[in-house]
Amino acid sequence: MARLIDAGPGCPTPTPSRSASRDGPGGLDYNSQVKAETDHLYPLASDFITPMEWPAIAPLVAAINRLKAEKNAVILAHNYMTPDIFRLVGDIRGDSLQLAREAAEVDADIIVQAGVHFMAETSKVLAPEKTVLIPSLEAGCSLASSITGADVALIKQRYPAYPVVTYVNTTADVKAECHITCTSSNAVQVVEAIAKDWNTDTVILVPDQYLARNVASQTDIRIITWPGACEVHELFSADDVQALRDAHPGVMILAHPECPPDVLEVSDFAGSTAALAHYVSDHNPSKVVLLTECSMSDNVAAENPDVEFVRPCNLCPHMKQITLENIYTCLTDMRHEVEIDEAVRQRAKSAIDAMLALPKLSTPLAFRTGLAAKEIEVI
């Protein structure tokens, strides 16, 4: 069951960046220069950082922003980053694919990926000429680590007649073995398009069994999947949804499709992180809960001050490895650089390009809710 917290602004879970004054890099003081450089930024995060904490955090923010300018670097900040990173040092913000696509276009020599390792690999796949840095090697992902390229090679031997679609939350090795990638915004579109291309009624969608089950309920294509799961979203249950409805009459429940199908069945709306954010902006519900990673609510709430957010607090331990401190160190020491074998990179890029060649969706596709789960084959 998810950890449910009816919090005020900001999740009360401690974040590493709050310890900047104790454990952060030395030599960064809160002085008049830092104050002048950062005073205008504080209002962007005042719902998350108290005035007492600001003098410990502002020197890091100022130092990182100076380093970015000196080194022609940009920071790609995923929606699940804490607000200090997302709002104060992030240059490009969004979901993983949006970040990687913009990374390929941006005029910068260095990309710092404020996200997890597979995202940094995707940036390197699409922008091989740029130096891509990941601030912590501990920033993994339960989905990405659930499957290897060798696993996919065996799947293809076992099911040679079926195309293999991989969710973008996988390593470059896995993408290199797959025929096409998908995101949670376009998974149904990709599955239906590749089934048509291959003239088949069956598609293999790896590695997230819950995304695959949710896609299966939206399409007539038969789906075969892999037993991977996101350790954050798999914790939500239909009982959580009922508990939220009981405690907060009238609340709108919005779920990410990495949640189990019984959660989507009883939710009001379901879609990718981009779809959830659009829904809140477009519909302006009086009270809402986002069944996804905790920091997403913090970041969407900042854009929608009239909406009351009820916050189920499931943190991704991998995303939370990224801190202002290690972003700073990564830029000063130029560590940890992401490298990908060129042959693997090219094959992974083909799988991403196959997805990008599909007609671009004007808005992320929503998943219909209220549908009973279908039984599907798990490899």
Which parts of this chain interact with ligand SF4 (CB under 6 A)? 80, 116, 141-143, 169, 230-232, 293, 316, 318-319
Shortest reach from residue 230's CB to ligand SF4, in Å? 3
Torsion of CA 93, 218, 164, 181, to 10 degrees: -20
Nearer to ligand SF4, 38 or 169 (CB): 169
The b/e string for 257-294 (b: 16+ C-beta within 10 A; e otherwise) is bbbbbbbbbbbbbbbbbbbbbbbbeeeebeebbbbbbb
DSSP states of 337-366 as a string? Answer: BP---HHHHHHHHHHHHHHHTSPPPSSPPP
Q: Which of 199, 152, 198 is nearest to 171 (CA)?
A: 152
CB of 137 to ligand SF4, least distance (A): 14
Which secondary structure element, helix H or strand E, spans residue 327, and what is its range?
A: helix 324-333
- Least separation in angstroms between residue 22's CB and ligand SF4 is 26
**Which residue, 68 or 311, has its beta carbon nearer to ligand SF4?**
311
Please identify, using beta-carbon distances, which residue of 192 and 231 lies nearer to ligand SF4.
231
Could you tell me the smallest distance in angstroms from the CB atom of residue 210 to ligand SF4? Answer: 11
CB nearer to ligand SF4: give 168 or 366. Answer: 168
Find the shortest distance in angstroms from Cβ 318 to ligand SF4: 5
Angle (CA) 181 207 354, round 5°: 10
Q: Nearest CA to 293 among 245, 248, 230, 240? A: 230
Q: What's the closest the beta carbon of residue 83 comes to ligand SF4, in angstroms?
A: 17
Pick 123 or 142: Cβ nearer ligand SF4: 142
What's the closest the beta carbon of residue 171 comes to ligand SF4, in angstroms?
12
Cβ proximity to ligand SF4, 54 vs 167, nearer residue: 167
Rg (CA), the chain: 21
Single out the residue of 292, 206, 210 nearest to residue 11, CA to CA.
Answer: 292
Q: How far is the CB of 115 from ligand SF4 (least distance, A)?
A: 8
Single-letter residue type at 244: L
Nearer to ligand SF4 among residue 241 and residue 319 (C-beta):
319
Here the tokens at position 293 are: 């990673």
Supply 275's token pair. 């779809």
The span from the CA of 220 to the CA of 156, in Å, is: 22
> Closer to ligand SF4 at the Cβ: 280 or 322?
322
CB distance 289 to 309 below 8 Å: yes
| Cβ pair 377, 206 in contact under 8 A | no
What is the sign, positive or negative, of the torsion defined by CA atoms of 274, 278, 281, 285?
negative
Smallest gap from residue 292 Cβ to ligand SF4 (A): 8
Contacts by 33-38, CB closer than 8 A, 24 or more apart: 33/62, 34/58, 34/59, 34/62, 37/62, 37/65, 37/66, 38/62
CB closer to ligand SF4, 20 vs 338: 338
